[in-house]
Amino acid sequence: MFRIKICGITNVTDALAAAAAGADAVGLNFYAGSPRCVAPDAAKEIAATLPDGVARVGVFVNADVQAIIEICDRLALTYVQLHGDEPAELVAQLAPRAVIKAFRLRDTDRTPINAFLAECKKVDAMPTGLLLDAHVSGHYGGTGATADWLGARAVTEWLAPLPVLLAGGLTPANVAAAVAAARPWGVDTASGVEISPGHKDQAKMQQFAAAARDALAHG
């Protein structure tokens, strides 16, 4: 499982810069409601240019299973990230593809996560990892709002050894503190390293990756 993901990549230049900065995963967002949405053809070009060792993560929100499978297989995605209200059955339908399920953390309420994982056990299909994002009503991530780090730590410890990624308002300035507080397996940022939605700041990506790498190594 990757440790540092730059999400919302929309062009080859930013993808290569993210990889050069030290990110070991890039996120390609296929949710039409996102300002970082990328068309499959453009995403295929981006995915093809990435160096080996950099994971290609497709981000989907309440998408049709066949549409996910088609994009995943066409682009040879490394991971499918489900960032909506998807049921556990979808994890089974996507097998053997690696799935990361995102949850928008509301305080320390583990009920949605617990219910989802219980259903996963019933269908004998567990996600590869979970991602914890900030809870903003009516939004499926990418808001820049900061997640509850201490709440995320409680969930991370509860779910061990299942890898948990932390997202939600992470920037070069706060990622070290976030890692120290939440103790996640890895981190994920989109708006925290941008000039504008979908357009990355190369210097910020370098600063973020360096700070995250150091914090994760000492976490």
Per the listing, tokens 């996120």 go with 27
What residue type is assigned to position 64 of the chain?
D
Q: What angle do CA 67, 5, 108 make, to 5 degrees?
A: 90
Q: Is 142 helix (H, G, I), strand (E, B) or coil?
A: coil
Quote the DSSP letter at residue 37.
B
Active centre residues (catalytic): 7, 133
From the list 22, 74, 68, the residue with the least C-alpha distance to 48 is 74
| Structure tokens given for 193 | 């390293």
Rounded to the nearest 10 degrees, the angle between the axes of helix 202-217 and helix 175-182 is 30
102 DSSP β-pair partners: 131
* Distance in angstroms (rounded) separating the CA atoms of residues 160 and 91: 19
Mapped onto helix, strand or coil, the DSSP state of residue 85 is coil
Q: What does the block give as tokens for 34?
A: 């996102």
> What 3-state DSSP class applies to 162?
coil
Half-sphere exposure of 39 (CA within 13 A, CB side): 2
